[in-house]
């Protein structure tokens, strides 16, 4: 398995200038390669591949000493990043999605540079009993705050800028860890938003939703207003945007920390975890406009949908499900996702399905009279659907 580690870097002022120069030079390579692809297609309808641009990299480095001071493999990875962007673009075009043609990277929009360990970057570059350092070609040995041990073989070393701080990301190949002891518990999860919590389980438990984004809504608005009061291009505007970005990063870090802990709790206590299989990107799309035929538009519930979308994204459903999956695989647990259709309308006791069974948070079966919390009732149905799917996957096909 591959595990990612993230540690804070403490570069000197000179090293920080060099790291900024590294990001800027890699951004120039990305933009120049994108421009070449656009011009080739516009003028001659010729598609340029990664191998074509990679072959030019040696000549470019020979003519530009500033580019040659950085690792060749890191610049190659930047070209691969652009190639992957085009592959994703063509895939979306093929399947009818929103194409999203690759864009040029503006100042501050390319914040990571990837290296192979031992080729342009070396993890733990200086043997020292207490201090860890990472070496980047063209920068030198940079101090690292290593707060936990790194297990396995480090294969990739990525430098990342987040606001005014610098980080190193390590990809390490490891053996699968020892599975956690069996608990004999199985659980279903029904996701929720806003004041309704983050999720409900089939055992009647409620996972709270701190809603960090909503709690910081006033501070975000004030920080955004502070940007509007400054002149474009001024130092005050740069500082105001930095404060706004720092507030967003704090909210993101708080949310991620909370979801890590919630996912850890579920994985540690349960052998089988069943959750909804949701297309969150589609759920949070902006509603389509409704022309009324007279030059105007009919109400489409955009304001209410915007609030719901913001609440879903603030809860972090996608992050939560990905964390549960990753932690379950690492701990030897089973994670199953099922189609949640009609789970909130179906009685978990008798199986009777009717839209009128649910009335907000209350569930009352019109057939058998079963009463329950609507989200807990849905979680029980999700668990049962997951167990059926799990058992079907385990059935071996019969020989003809």
For residues 243 and 156, the answer to whether their CB atoms sit within 8 Å is no
Q: Are both 165 and 200 inside the same structural domain?
A: no
Residues 161 and 268 in one domain: no
**What's the CATH code of the domain at 336?**
3.30.420
| Gap between the Cα atoms of 369 and 363, Å rounded | 9
Please tell me the predicted confidence (pLDDT) of residue 396: 53
pLDDT at 400: 40
Tell me how crowded residue 366 is: count the other CB atoms within 10 A of its CB.
11
Judging by DSSP bridges, how do beta strands 297-298 and 206-207 pair with one another? unpaired
Query: 204 and 142 share a domain?
Result: no
Same domain membership, residue 150 and residue 112: yes
Residue ranges of the chain with per-residue pLDDT less than 50: 399-400
Q: How far is CA 90 from CA 34, 86, 166, in A?
A: 15, 6, 33
163, 81: one domain: yes
Residue 216 lies in a domain: no
Could you tell me where the beta strands, DSSP code E, fall in the chain? 2-10, 112-117, 120-123, 132-136, 140-145, 153-162, 165-173, 186-191, 199-201, 206-207, 272-276, 290-291, 297-298, 334-338, 358-359, 362-364, 371-373
Distance of alpha carbon 161 from alpha carbon 163, whole angstroms: 6
Determine the structural domain holding residue 10 and report its residue range: 2-173
- Kindly state whether residues 193 and 46 are assigned to the same domain: no
Residue 379 contacts residue 363 (beta carbons within 8 Å): no
Residues 6+ apart with CB under 8 A from 88: 100
272-276 and 186-191 beta bridge pairing: parallel
Is 217 a domain residue? no
Quote the pLDDT of residue 352: 93
321 C-beta neighbours (distance < 10 Å), count? 23
Could you tell me if 318 and 280 are in contact, meaning their C-beta atoms sit under 8 angstroms apart?
A: yes
Note the pTM of the prediction, 2 decimals.
0.86
Asked whether residue 344 is domain-assigned, the answer is yes
User: Are residues 281 and 149 both part of a single domain?
Assistant: no
Query: Would 51 be classed as within a structural domain?
Result: yes
Same domain, 93 and 203: no
For residue 228, tell me if it sits in a domain.
no
Q: What's the gap between Cα 73 and its chain centre?
A: 25
Is 204 in the same domain as 315? Answer: yes
CA dihedral 164, 81, 319, 179 (to 10 degrees): -110
Phi-psi region at 362: left, alpha or beta (left = phi > 0; alpha = psi -120 to 50): beta
Number of domains making up the chain? 2
Tokens at residue 314, please?
Answer: 């603030």
Say how far apart CA 332 and CA 179 lie, in whole Å: 5
Residues 200 and 348 in one domain: yes
Closest CA to 145 of 121, 119, 166: 166
Q: How far apart are CA 86 and CA 84, in angstroms?
A: 5
In DSSP terms, 119 is beta-bridged to: 116
Residue 122 lies in a domain: yes
Tens of pLDDT along 348-375? 999 999 999 999 889 999 999 999 999 9
Instruction: Please report whether residue 129 resides in a domain.
Output: yes
Collapsed DSSP state (helix, strand, coil) of residue 241:
helix
């Amino acid at each position: 398995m591959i595990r990612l580690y993230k540690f804070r870097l403490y570069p000197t002022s000179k090293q920080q200038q060099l790291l900024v120069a590294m990001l800027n030079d890699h951004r120039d390579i990305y933009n120049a390669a994108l421009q070449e692809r656009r011009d080739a297609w516009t003028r001659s309808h010729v598609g340029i591949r990664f191998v074509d641009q990679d072959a030019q990299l040696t000549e470019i480095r020979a003519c530009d000493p500033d580019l040659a001071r950085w690792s060749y493999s890191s610049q190659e990875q930047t070209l691969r990043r652009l190639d992957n962007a085009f592959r994703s673009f063509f895939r979306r075009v093929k399947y009818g999605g929103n194409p999203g043609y690759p864009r040029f990277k503006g100042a501050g929009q390319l914040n990571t540079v990837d290296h192979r360990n031992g080729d342009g970057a070396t993890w733990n570059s200086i043997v020292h009993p207490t201090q860890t350092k990472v070496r980047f070609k063209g920068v030198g040995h940079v101090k690292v705050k290593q707060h936990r041990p790194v297990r396995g073989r480090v294969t990739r070393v990525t430098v990342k800028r987040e606001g005014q701080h610098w980080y190193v990301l390590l990809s390490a190949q490891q053996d699968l860890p020892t599975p956690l002891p069996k608990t004999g518990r199985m659980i279903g999860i029904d996701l929720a938003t806003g004041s309704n919590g983050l999720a409900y389980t089939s055992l009647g438990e409620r996972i709270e939703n701190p809603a960090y984004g909503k709690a910081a809504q006033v501070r975000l608005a004030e920080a955004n207003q502070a940007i509007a009061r400054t002149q474009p291009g001024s130092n005050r505007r740069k500082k105001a945007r930095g404060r706004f970005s720092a507030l967003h990063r704090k909210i993101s870090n708080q949310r991620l920390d909370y979801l890590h802990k919630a996912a850890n709790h579920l994985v540690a206590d349960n052998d089988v975890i069943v959750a909804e299989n949701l297309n969150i990107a589609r759920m949070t799309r902006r509603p389509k406009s409704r022309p009324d035929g007279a030059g105007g538009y009919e109400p489409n519930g955009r304001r209410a949908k915007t609030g719901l979308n913001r609440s879903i994204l603030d809860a972090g459903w996608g992050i939560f499900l990905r964390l549960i999956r990753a932690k379950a695989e690492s701990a030897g647990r089973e994670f199953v996702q099922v189609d949640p259709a009609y789970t909130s309308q179906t009685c978990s006791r008798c199986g009777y399905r009717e839209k009128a069974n649910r009335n907000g948070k209350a569930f009352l079966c019109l057939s058998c009279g079963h009463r329950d919390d609507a989200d807990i009732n849905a979680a029980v149905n999700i668990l049962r659907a997951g167990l059926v799917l799990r058992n079907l996957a385990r059935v071996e096909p019969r020989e003809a």
